[in-house]
Chain A
Amino acid sequence: MERIKTIETRDLKESAVKGGCGECQTKGVANQQCEEK
């Protein structure tokens, strides 16, 4: 039986390769959004 349900999330390790475009905005960062969608 399925005991573990994995919720879809952005892979942070992958984002080390694909992220870093710097286009994100700057009164934490958890609820910020990207502006590699």
Chain B
Amino acid sequence: MVHQYKLNGYNIVLDTCSGSVHAVDEIAYDIIGLYKEKSPEEIAEIITEKYADENITPDDVFECIEDVKALEEKGKLYTPDTYEDMAFDFKNRNTVIKALCLHVAHTCNLNCEYCFASQGKYHGERALMSLETGKRALDFLIENSGTRRNLEVDFFGGEPLMNLEVVKELVAYAREIEKIHNKNFRFTLTTNGILIDDDVIDFCNKEMSNVVLSLDGRKEVHDRLRKDYQGRGSYDIIVPKFQEFVRRRGDKSYYIRGTFTHANTDFTNDIFHMADLGFKELSMEPVVCAPDDKSALTKEDLPLLFEQYEILAKEMLKRQKEGNGFTFYHYMLDLTHGPCIYKRISGCGSGTEYMAVTPSGELYPCHQFVGDKKYLLGNIYDGVTNKEIQNEFKLCNAYARKECADCWAKLYCSGGCAANSYHASGKITGIYEYGCELFKKRIECAVMMKVAEQFDN
């Protein structure tokens, strides 16, 4: 399967099943499009006629056809899809748990209108995870991690800093037991920033491999939806805290992570605002909410969003050249050391390698399913008891959806987010088409940036 597109002056050809990327001239671009449909003689006739002004001869065309044929023979173009059988063998695969999302606080000190977790409570009661429950969750992770050494734990909520003492004690406990079991815990924490102080900064910069700091961009954009319970915006409180946090973080990872909605379809201005505030590691995600929500992105927004992603890619290349670049999470492709085919088929690992733990110790496939009893997997005391649901997730991959069969992006998205599919279609193997469209655009932009970097080098 081959995908061809033009962007920012580059003609790009992606070969889905080999992962190959080619940058080609106009003539090769047209020839690659015709190669499987026409004979060499027919292609030569079409191309010489189209490019008559450029004195392209039939021999020029035949030479290019030979190059295309050579790439096909090397397995870098028109590579057949031989991975489907591999995908359906996944049900028999023994997976280990690699990561837990610890919901240490089902409560929040902000009242953000678009919160998928219903202001942190996940459609339930306010709750804080106890130290005992947290310790048991860490033990559960070790017990179910097999021989894997690196274990990831994300402190999440709600607002996890509302249960900071438990977070600290859990990290200390993990540091004790990791030595005994020859494991290495890597912690992350996602916060709205309100409770950040010197103590939090020192603790997180020592113990957290990554921190995710929620900021939606420009003050008026951020404050429109990220308010406290008195209706006051949080921008002025959190931005100086984030700046100090990041300044003292040195070279450790962080993300300034925003959400864009129907109200700011010019979201690149929010990303540039983050960069202008001095932040360099950025992420901006489309809101996921009910279609009738006033924040929901609409079909009419889609062309605007496509344009925004292109503007972002071009501006990032420009700033990179000027020496003041920044990273954008979805454009961070590693073409040479990226994921292998097993990872590309199996996806994010929700429900199998990754689970969310509620304050009471219930297990869900990921944080986005928390509170939906249909997807309750079990608990940290008895383990996964709902094997039927877990098996659904084992098979929820790039080959589980017939709609994805002919999609060039399926080995970049692995079939997409199960939760988004579920909320859009009622089943985890459904399709969230809007998300697909945005994802494909982001990949096109990300690959274009890689091509541009190659040409610049």
Contacts and interface: CB of A to CB of B under 8 A. Distances in A.
Contacts of A13: 17-18, 75, 79, 82, 341
A15 B20 CA distance: 13
B326 to A, nearest CB: 15
Contacts of A34: 337-340, 343
B20 A6 contact: yes
Interface in B123-175: 148, 150, 152
A4 B340 contact: no
B339 A3 contact: no
Interface in B209-231: 212
A25 B19 contact: no
Given A13-B17, A29-B413, A6 B338 contact: no
- Which of A4, A11, A35: most chain B Cβ within 10 A? A4
A15 B333 contact: no
Looking at chain A, what size class is its interface with the partner chain?
20 to 34
A10 to B, nearest CB: 6
Nearest to B331: A31
B152 A27 contact: no
A6 B451 CA distance: 9
A31 B348 CA distance: 11
B412 A7 contact: no
A11 B16 CA distance: 11
B454 A24 contact: no
Interface in B70-107: 71, 75-76, 79, 82-83, 86, 96, 98-99
Contacts of A26: 98-99, 152, 348-350, 353-354
A7 B23 contact: yes
A34 B339 CA distance: 5
B432 to A, nearest CB: 12
A37 B152 CA distance: 21
Given A10-B19, A12-B411, A35-B150, A28 B336 contact: no
Contacts of B340: 10, 12, 15-16, 18-21, 34
Nearest to A7: B21
B76 A33 contact: no
A10 B82 CA distance: 17
B23 A5 contact: yes
Contacts of B18: 9, 11-13
A8 B67 CA distance: 17
Contacts of B148: 22-23
A5 B82 CA distance: 26
A3 B341 contact: no
Contacts of A35: 150
Given A4-B67, A7-B23, A25 B152 contact: yes
A28 B411 CA distance: 9
19 contacts: A4-B23, A4-B64, A4-B67, A5-B22, A7-B22, A7-B23, A7-B335, A7-B451, A9-B19, A12-B411, A13-B18, A19-B341, A22-B342, A25-B150, A28-B439, A29-B344, A31-B334, A32-B339, A33-B334
Given A27-B367, A28-B439, A30-B412, 5 more contacts: A4-B28, A5-B24, A12-B19, A15-B342, A30-B446
Interface of B: 17-25, 27-28, 64, 67-68, 71, 75-76, 79, 82-83, 86, 96, 98-99, 148, 150, 152, 190, 212, 257, 285, 329-344, 347-350, 353-354, 367, 411-414, 416-417, 439, 443, 446, 450-451, 454-455
Closest 9 CB pairs of A and B: A19-B340, A15-B340, A26-B349, A26-B354, A3-B28, A30-B412, A28-B413, A12-B19, A7-B21
